[in-house]
Amino acid sequence: MEKAEAWYRERYDQLFPSHARLFPGVKSLLTSLRRAGYLLAAASNKLRPYSQAILAHLGIDTLLQVVVCQDDVGGRLKPDPAMLLAIMERLEQSPPATLYVGDTVIDIEAGRRAQIDTVVVLTGSEHKEALQAASPAAILPSVVELPRYLHSLS
């Protein structure tokens, strides 16, 4: 079993970052949000080395002011709010000034536990009905709809 696990980890390390893909419009969205003065961060249940490799491969690592991973918060995974709380602390922001964007029920619960409004997008693997049942602040068809949502808040 140890050999199989070692083989899996080696293959994962080699292949995973190169298989990650951004949804259309995400990089330009992050670029325009950053230019507009928004503080951008990522909370990842992955370990930091994997998260950093993926973000760098996607070319968005430099657009994020903060990245918090499970190993930054003692291995606590979402829906534990530790990563979101750490992000707010590092960016010196409060829950009312923060919006969390995710695509799972776990993201909605993490946001709720951190007292952050959470918007989910339908580009993940969860069904709309499951997301609706978890009561996010909003459900968007795609993350590229985020600017319109942000505009509706002002």
For the chain, domain boundaries: 2-153
Contact 47, 71 (CB under 8 A): yes
Instruction: State the burial class of residue 89 (Cβ atoms within 10 Å of its Cβ: 0-12, 13-18, 19+).
Output: exposed
pLDDT tens figures, 44-61? 999 999 999 999 999 999
The Cα 84–Cα 82 span in angstroms is: 6
Q: Tokens 């909605």 label which residue?
A: 108
2-153 fold:
Rossmann fold (3.40.50)
Q: Tokens 């994997």 label which residue?
A: 50
Contact 132, 116 (CB under 8 A): no
pLDDT tens figures, 63-111? 999 999 999 999 999 999 999 999 999 999 999 999 999 999 999 999 9
Task: Look at the pTM and tell me if it is higher than 0.85.
Answer: yes
